[in-house]
Amino acid sequence: MPRPLLTRCTILSAIDQRPGMKAGGRIGILGGTLDPIHLGHLDAALAAREALELDQVLVIPSHVPPHRLQPAASSFHRFAMASIAVNAVEGLAASDVELMSPGPSYTADTLVRLCESLSLSPLQIFFITGADAFAEIETWSRYPAVLDLANFVVVSRPGMSLQALRERLPMLKGRVRLPRVTSATGPSIYLVDAPTADVSSTEIRRRIAERRPLSGLVPPGVEHHIAQHELYSYPPVTHSAADHLHGQH
């Protein structure tokens, strides 16, 4: 059954927007809740892009994450922040492909949709994850078949080394390759050891709740967006605190 036109256009426009993308190229995908996007996400995307010589990496906020609590910020704000974060970063673009499709954002669905819409083979798609996320691969929808839908690029993350990952997933040993090995005849798992910012979205939300500065953990434009729209600023100011501000105590 043909996919909705809107989905096809959305994906194509996200790719066509950037001049670096050529037909038959290699596309990276960094998906996640991105609640909010931070410098660790950008580091991982750029490390994967360089290591695997990707034409472009699409940063894709997920709609309804299947395995997690609902995001604190709306999908609109999470997409806005992703767009701001990749603005003017060579080789990165934000895509609304998961936000435009109903239901949960399963990676397998997104990969199938991208392959169909762009007439790409799984060998041309590189799904990027941090080592912590990939460590849970056995819990993903349609595991292990999902591993045949694209290459996977696993980037080290502070607190989760690639060696720890290898020890945790010994059954995937046969698929694991180092970047730039081009002899692979099927989708592979590429391990990229790169320094990425030691930051998480959870830590950012906690800092905001505690009224602590974000000092270099997110791009300046994202920090501005969070402040401008008062995102994550729970607990809200109470009446007594507001009264205090107005000199009524």
Nearer to ligand ATP, 64 or 116 (CB): 64
Which residue has tokens 């996320």?
133
Nearest by Cα to 122 from 101, 152, 96? 152
Alpha carbons 85 and 42: distance in angstroms, whole number = 8
**Least CB distance from residue 169 to ligand ATP, whole Å?**
14
Whose CB is nearest to ligand ATP? 130
Nearer to ligand ATP, 123 or 194 (CB): 194
Q: Count the neighbouring beta carbons within 10 Å of the beta carbon of residue 206.
A: 12
**Least CB distance from residue 150 to ligand ATP, whole Å?**
14
Nearer to ligand ATP, 99 or 199 (CB): 199
**Least CB distance from residue 247 to ligand ATP, whole Å?**
39
Class of residue 222 by CB neighbours under 10 A (exposed 0-12, middle 13-18, buried 19+): buried
- Residues linked to residue 60 through DSSP beta bridges, in sequence order: 31
Nearer to ligand ATP, 198 or 230 (CB): 198
CB of 58 within 8 A of CB of 30?
yes
Nearer to ligand ATP, 17 or 202 (CB): 202
**Amino acid (one-letter) located at 127:** F
Positive/negative CA dihedral, 240, 72, 158, 41? negative
**Least CB distance from residue 31 to ligand ATP, whole Å?**
7
**Least CB distance from residue 208 to ligand ATP, whole Å?**
13
For ligand ATP, the binding residues (CB under 6 A) are 32-35, 40-41, 44, 129-130, 132-133, 155, 157, 196-197, 199-202
